[in-house]
Amino acid sequence: MEQDRPAASLEGKRAGTHFNDTGRGRALTHEHSSERRAAADGSRGTVLVTGATGFVGRAVRPALAAAGWRLRGLTRDAARARARAPDLEWVQGDVADRAACARALASCQAALYLVHEIGQGDDYHRREVSEAAGFADAAAAAGVGRIVYLGGLAPRGDPDATSEHLRSRLDVGAALRAGNVPTVELRASMIVGHGSLSWIIVRDLAARLPVMVLPSWLRSRTEPVAIDDVVVALVRTLDMPLEASAWFDLPGPDRLSGREVLEGAARALGLDRPRMLSVPLLTPRLSSLWLRFVTRARWSVAREIVVGLTSDLLAHDDRVWGLLDPPHPRRLTFSEAARRAVDAELREGPVDGAWGTFERARAVLAAALKP
């Protein structure tokens, strides 16, 4: 895994050179100016969105279209995706298929890399890095001008204690930045929004456990970022002046412990703050065992996310928001983002099953007991 250091300054670097984290550079082999490669119809051109049917992909698509991009999605089930979003161009395949990547990237000016395989097999880390390297090669061969990748924050502390999930996200970013296409890697911790796996876990714990044990690892701090702000960053970094690949942390405005995140989720749901009993010997791996009975998130995914919570996930800085054009200094607080996530869930309809019945009964009881 690469060393955890802030992105180097973009100023003063020689145009046409790709700089890696050690400061060494190598010449780029083809033209990367998206302005020079603008589409003949006056639009910004075509952007390939990998992971276009996922949580972030669905959120960013309308903003890309509004910004003037033509959208193309790479998906394993193009027929299903086309039925749900007929206004998009869909290509059958995935990032593991280099021929499919070549077809999807043809004539594209930019690409968003939003895929990950967390918890999908014992060797998912190796596969993810290999797929990212192959995608970078295919993008270079197609003459793509920019790749934007949404990855994960590097944890503070001992790098050897980093979870496999976070190591994989960081190594995927390094593989993409090592290619010949200028790449922006955006590193986020918890993304707050309806459909986010991290939010689902937090929301379900707050909604379903009025009393819960509090492992010591919930003292770890993070800077949750709203999906609305993530979308802004993804769209605007496609146009960010960039002479060499770089990574930037993508923090929200609040620095919260795991306990404070759970309490904030409960408030957004209109519930009393859960009562928490401190159990310092409860490890993340043991915690992930009971999560499988409480949350809707797939257990293999929940396990990887929870194991990654043993260290602080804090940004080195928040300067990326000022580098965007226009800048984006006003980000949603965790409370605002959580409320939006709850509102989006309510518009979609009630949660099904026994847990849904329990949640509704608890909400009614909470409302009746309020003064």
What is the CATH number for 106? 3.40.50.720
The distance from CA 271 to its chain's CA centroid, rounded to whole angstroms, is 28
Domain range enclosing 59? 17-193+223-255+312-333
Q: Residue 57 belongs to what H/E stretch?
A: helix 55-66
Residue 275 in domain = no
For the chain, how many structural domains are there in total?
1
Is residue 50 domain-resident? yes
Q: Is residue 217 part of a domain?
A: no
**Within 10 Å of residue 105's Cβ, how many Cβ atoms?**
26
- pLDDT score at 292: 75
Structural domain includes residue 214: no
Structure confidence by residue, pLDDT tens digits, 43-97: 689 999 999 999 999 999 999 999 999 999 999 999 999 999 999 999 999 999 9
Residue count (the chain): 371
pLDDT in tens, 269-320: 999 888 877 766 666 666 666 677 788 877 667 766 766 666 788 999 999 9
Q: What is the rounded average pLDDT for all residues in the chain?
A: 84
Backbone φ, ψ for residue 18 (5° rounding): -100, 125
Q: What is the pTM of this model?
A: 0.87
Q: Within a domain: residue 359?
A: no
In a domain? residue 299? no
Position 130: which residue type?
S
Nearest CA to 142 among 190, 107, 112, 166? 107
Angle between helices 299-307 and 284-294 (to 10 degrees): 150
Q: Give the start-end residues of each E strand in the chain.
A: 17-19, 25-27, 45-50, 69-75, 89-92, 110-113, 146-152, 183-188, 191-192, 211-214, 221-222, 225-226, 246-249, 256-257, 275-278
What are the structure tokens assigned to 60, written together?
Answer: 């960013």
pLDDT value for 219? 80
Task: Give the Cβ contact number of residue 338 at 10 Å.
Answer: 26
Asked if the structure places residue 26 within a domain, the reply is: yes
- What is d(CA 192, CA 222) in angstroms, rounded to the nearest whole number? 12
